[in-house]
């Protein structure tokens, strides 16, 4: 073409272009053949690929059918799920209300719990205090038990001491009882001695001597003295003579004499007259009795005069409280009592206390 263009304005000259055309056509044919061959090969390949793709497509269609079926099922399930979701939403809305209420309750419970925690802390502190007190109490109880055991041992020891002391006290009581019996027995011996020598009753039937309620020898005043007199009557002298002899015999016994402090001669009057007069009269009568006994039995005075004492009690120790003649007669009397030595009794007690375990 370029050649043609370049030669277009020149004079026409016939040229031989057939071989070139043939070559061109040959090349075009070859190109077409080659293109057809490529198209054929491509067709074959495309057919195979198409068959494969159709198979795959069929598989895909089957798979899509399955997916559609599953999709339908899923749609149904989705619808059910939506229904459930709607129900769940309603429940959630209701639950939301309940949740708000629950939150409020939880808030209230939290405050309550905080209060309870404070209370628990206080109670724990109180419990710690109680535990400390309990431990202290247990220690005190333990110490108390130890002291109790010690006390039991001491009590057992004291019981032994008490038992021993009771035995000694019993022995002391026996001795003291013996002394009391001795006091009465001495007076009874004196009374029996008089009764044996001169008889128990006077010619008028009156009892010469008697043991009174206080364990003293009682001699009726009418047997010894005239009314308002302190002079011993003659008929009473025999009685006093025997009384002096009896006391000498008793005091001659060293075992009896050991416990006798003195023999008390006491005068008593009735309520008639003044107290001063009766005091003098009662004292004078007691002195008259002792004096006569000492004169009647000089041996008694020589050996045992320090053992005799007198006293006047006027009207202040009556045997009878009445103011009649019989009562006044009983109140006018001479009483003889034995006074036991205090030092002997004290000696017994000191011996008892000295022997007692400390």
Which regions of the chain are under pLDDT 50? 1-5, 7-8, 10, 12, 172, 349-350, 353, 356-358
pLDDT at 8: 46
CA 352 to chain centre: 39
pLDDT at 282: 95
Q: Say how far apart CA 269 and CA 267 lie, in whole Å.
A: 7
pLDDT at 232: 94
pLDDT at 173: 56
Range 347-351, long-range pairs (CB < 8 A, 24+ positions): 348/172, 348/175, 348/176, 349/172
Q: Say how far apart CA 207 and CA 219 lie, in whole Å.
A: 8
The two tokens of residue 307 are 């053992």
Range 189-192, long-range pairs (CB < 8 A, 24+ positions): 189/246, 189/250, 190/217, 190/243, 190/246, 190/247, 190/250, 190/336, 191/217
Residue 342 belongs to what H/E stretch?
Answer: helix 342-355
Under DSSP, the state recorded for 220 is E
Question: What's the whole-model pTM score?
Answer: 0.48
**Topology of domain 186-341, CATH:** 60s Ribosomal Protein L30; Chain: A; (3.30.1330)
Closest to 338 measured CA to CA, from 229, 197, 211: 211
Q: Say how far apart CA 335 and CA 214 lie, in whole Å.
A: 10
**First-last CA distance in the chain:** 168
- The percent of the chain in helix, strand and coil, each rounded to the nearest 5, is 75, 10, 15
Closest to 319 measured CA to CA, from 161, 245, 212, 183: 212
Q: Say how far apart CA 242 and CA 296 lie, in whole Å.
A: 9
The tens digit of pLDDT for each residue in 61-84 reads 888 888 788 878 878 887 887 888
């Amino acid at each position: 073409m370029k050649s043609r263009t370049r030669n277009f304005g020149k004079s026409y000259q016939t040229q031989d272009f057939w071989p070139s055309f043939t070559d061109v056509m040959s090349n075009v044919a070859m190109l077409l053949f080659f293109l057809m061959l490529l198209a054929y090969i491509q067709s074959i390949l495309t057919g195979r690929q198409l068959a494969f793709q159709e198979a795959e497509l069929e598989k895909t269609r089957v798979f899509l059918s399955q997916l559609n079926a599953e999709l339908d099922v899923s749609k149904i399930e989705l619808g059910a799920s939506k229904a459930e979701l709607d129900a769940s939403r309603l429940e959630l809305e209701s639950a939301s209300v309940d949740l708000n209420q629950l939150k409020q309750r939880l808030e209230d419970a939290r405050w309550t719990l905080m209060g309870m925690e404070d209370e628990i802390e206080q109670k724990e502190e109180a419990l710690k205090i109680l535990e400390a007190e309990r431990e202290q109490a247990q220690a005190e109880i333990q110490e108390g038990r130890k002291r109790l055991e010690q006390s039991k041992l001491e009590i057992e020891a004291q019981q032994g001491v008490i038992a021993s002391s009771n035995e000694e006290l019993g022995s002391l009581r026996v001795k003291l009882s013996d002394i009391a019996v001795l006091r009465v027995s001495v007076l009874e011996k004196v009374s029996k001695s008089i009764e044996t020598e001169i008889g128990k009753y006077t010619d008028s039937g009156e009892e010469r001597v008697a043991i009174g309620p206080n364990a003293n020898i009682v001699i009726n005043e009418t047997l010894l003295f005239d009314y308002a007199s302190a002079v011993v009557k003659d008929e009473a002298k025999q009685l006093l003579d025997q009384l002096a002899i009896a006391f000498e015999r008793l005091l001659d016994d060293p075992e009896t004499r050991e416990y006798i402090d003195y023999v008390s001669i006491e005068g008593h009057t009735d309520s008639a007259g003044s107290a001063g007069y009766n005091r003098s009269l009662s004292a004078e009568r007691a002195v008259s009795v002792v004096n006569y006994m000492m004169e009647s039995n000089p041996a008694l005075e020589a050996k045992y005069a320090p053992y005799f004492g007198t006293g006047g009690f006027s009207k202040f120790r009556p045997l009878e409280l009445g103011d009649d003649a019989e009562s006044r007669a009983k109140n006018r009397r001479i009483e003889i009592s034995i006074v036991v030595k205090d030092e002997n009794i004290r000696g017994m007690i000191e011996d008892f206390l000295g022997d007692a375990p400390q």
